[in-house]
Amino acid sequence: MNGQTGQGPDRSPAPRTDVCIVGAGPAGALVASRLATAGYDVVVLDAGPRFDPVDRLERMERRIRPAHGPESVWDMGGERDAFTSEGEMYYPLNAARVKGIGGTSLHWQGMVYRLHEADFERLSYDGVTADWPIGYDDMRPYYAEAETELGVSGADDNPFAPPREEPYPMPAFKPSYSDSIFAEACAELGITTHSSPSARNSEAYDGRVPCQGYGTCKPVCPSGAKYDATVHVARAEEAGARVIDRAPVQRLEHDKAGETIEAAVYATPDGEEHRQEARQFVLAAGGIEIPRLLLLSSSTQYPDGLANSSGLVGRYFMDHLAARVGGTVDRETRQNHVGFITTESHQFYDDGGAERGPFKLEFLNYAGPSPVGEALTAGPDAPWGDDLLQDIRDSYGNYLEVTGLCAQTPQKSNRIELNPDVTDDHGNPVPEIHWSLDDRTRRTIEAANERQLAIMDELDAEVEWVVGPDNTGPAFHHMGTTRMGTDPAESVVDPACRTHDLENCWVASSSVFVTGGALNPTLTIAALSLRVADRLEGVL
């Protein structure tokens, strides 16, 4: 259990343990919970603090007040979280990540999908990119487990989704009023719409309340109805795991032969460094910090970093790209802002071939820019009081937006490196992100925009903005930086997610993705993590 001393939490290392996990987000929490429940000694190290659930209402207040930026909600920023960005496109890393117990699941929107069967075989299907060394059938039982563990509300009404036998743990959320507006237009255009599965409770589940409708799911759910990894952190601790917060791992140290990791060296707020020894190590700190840690762990024997004999640690960085079209219609479009998506279309997901990648359409429950926020930035002539109220009555609530996620074609040149010229609060080089778009990814975004514009035209909407290839941004889904494969010269981890170079180092993360598809990655991360836990039980 998490020890206490007279001076506060005990952050000293445990005696050599069975498993040391780096990162207490969904991946690390699921592995820790599964292994601790099975009776293994587990220590989890996380760079950030424990956030008090009581503070979530106050963090929601930060979210809805225009004076606060997204980083302030979960205390991101400063030397600890420094990074640099190079390449064609700037990557705003800290805008949507959290360091702390629970990780970025404290911030996420809660959208969960199984990758399509073709996503595991893009080279075979499309003749471009690459195939994973595992397929949908390998993942299928773990997807079902992950849906149960997270608690997913959904319906089996998506004709384009991969096959499944089990019903979702909870029923889907009902479509919103604006969904019905989009459904009419899509029916006229021959576009099939369907529900969107969600890791939030449509009814009481697993000791957590149903969704209370705060509408601030991203970046904070005050009620706990949306899943976050503190659920499995608590289970792990109840089963005997030790979870140490504010313990950023500085480097991994290997044995003399260079075949195994011996210890994770971590820092504590008192300025001390400690060595946590273990038989097995699981890296679960996400697609940016995992390659950074491996690169920081260079040695005389491994001058290019650990697990990097292929030279691919940090390479093939991918994200999902936004495609959006929004505007106004001459009718009311909403009753309440629910804060998450309830209707989508995957109709055009798998028909791109070599020309373009997958994309999905999302129909936003969206009211448009806040009149209050606009007033705060408009200066002394902004309307206030009764004038602002009249503006809200006249012009608020007639917005519609079709958005979507677009796949990014993996490129070796997109990468995470160390920047020795900029250091964090411990003097370590910060991650430097090199990110750009290739022509195939641009064509994917253009194809999504074309469908979105057709829908808005069918609705006689006045289009007010288009987010396309030249002004797109990331979904903050960090994928591909320790890719999976069977050939040690072309990949970092094997099909079991164990590194080729170090026999006791495992990676539970979207960093192992070979391709990213166009679907939010958390359910696949969770399924892979449960699979890693199974493989670990086989070697412990």
* Cβ-based neighbour number of residue 389 at 10 Å: 12
Structure-derived torsion over alpha carbons of residues 62, 65, 69, 72, reported in degrees to the nearest 10: -10
Determine whether domain 160-196+321-406+437-473 maps to CATH 3.30.410: yes
| 276: exposed, middle or buried (Cβ count in 10 Å: 0-12, 13-18, 19+) | buried
Tokens in use for 192?
A: 């099939």
Q: 70, 127, 64: which is closest to 96 by C-alpha?
A: 70
Angle at 247 between CA 538 and CA 504, to 5 degrees: 25
Segment 411-447, tens digit of pLDDT? 999 999 999 999 999 999 999 999 999 999 999 999 9
Please write down the HEC assignment for all residues of 436-472.
CCCHHHHHHHHHHHHHHHHHHHHCCCEEEEEECCCCC
Report the amino acid identity of residue 245.
D
Beta pairing partners, 86: 434
Average pLDDT over residues 450-466: 97
Segment 469-484, tens digit of pLDDT? 999 999 999 999 999 9
Q: Are 1-82+96-152+224-319+411-417+477-540 and 160-196+321-406+437-473 in the same CATH fold?
A: no
pLDDT at 3: 42
Segment 494-531, tens digit of pLDDT? 999 999 999 999 999 999 999 999 999 999 999 999 99
pLDDT at 372: 64
Angle at 519 between CA 514 and CA 522, to 5 degrees: 80
Please name the residues in contact with 527: beta carbons below 8 A apart, sequence gap of 6 or more. Answer: 139, 142, 143, 145, 146
The pLDDT confidence band at residue 4, using thresholds 50, 70 and 90, is very low
Please provide the average confidence, as pLDDT, over all residues in the chain. Answer: 93
Tokens in use for 194?
A: 């369907």
Q: In whole angstroms, how far apart are CA 443 and each of 15, 344, 392, 410, 450?
A: 54, 21, 38, 14, 10
Angle at 265 between CA 264 and CA 266, to 5 degrees: 110
pTM for this model (two decimals): 0.95
The residue to which tokens 């060394």 are assigned: 133
The structural architecture, per CATH, of the domain 1-82+96-152+224-319+411-417+477-540 is 3-Layer(bba) Sandwich (3.50)
Tokens in use for 146?
A: 């992950």
pLDDT at 1: 39
Structure-derived torsion over alpha carbons of residues 226, 475, 91, 353, reported in degrees to the nearest 10: 150
Tokens in use for 529?
A: 């993590």
CB 477 within 8 A of CB 286: no
* Cβ-based neighbour number of residue 165 at 10 Å: 8
Q: 306, 281, 307, 288: which is closest to 296 by C-alpha?
A: 306
d(CA 80, CA 83): 9
* Cβ-based neighbour number of residue 152 at 10 Å: 25
CB 407 within 8 A of CB 414: no
* 452: pLDDT strictly greater than 70: yes
**What are the boundaries of each domain within the chain?**
1-82+96-152+224-319+411-417+477-540, 160-196+321-406+437-473
Please write down the HEC assignment for all residues of 293-349.
HHHHCCCCCCCCCCCCCCCCCCECCECCEEEEEEEECCCCCCCCCCCCCCEEECCCC
pLDDT at 70: 73
| 540: exposed, middle or buried (Cβ count in 10 Å: 0-12, 13-18, 19+) | middle
* 122: pLDDT strictly greater than 50: yes
Segment 187-240, tens digit of pLDDT? 999 999 999 999 999 999 999 999 998 888 888 999 999 999 999 999 999 999
pLDDT at 370: 67
Q: Could you give the maximum distance between any two Cα atoms of the chain, in Å?
A: 75
d(CA 490, CA 163): 31
Please name the residues in contact with 126: beta carbons below 8 A apart, sequence gap of 6 or more. Answer: 118, 352, 353, 354, 357
The residue to which tokens 């706990």 are assigned: 224
Report the amino acid identity of residue 181.
I
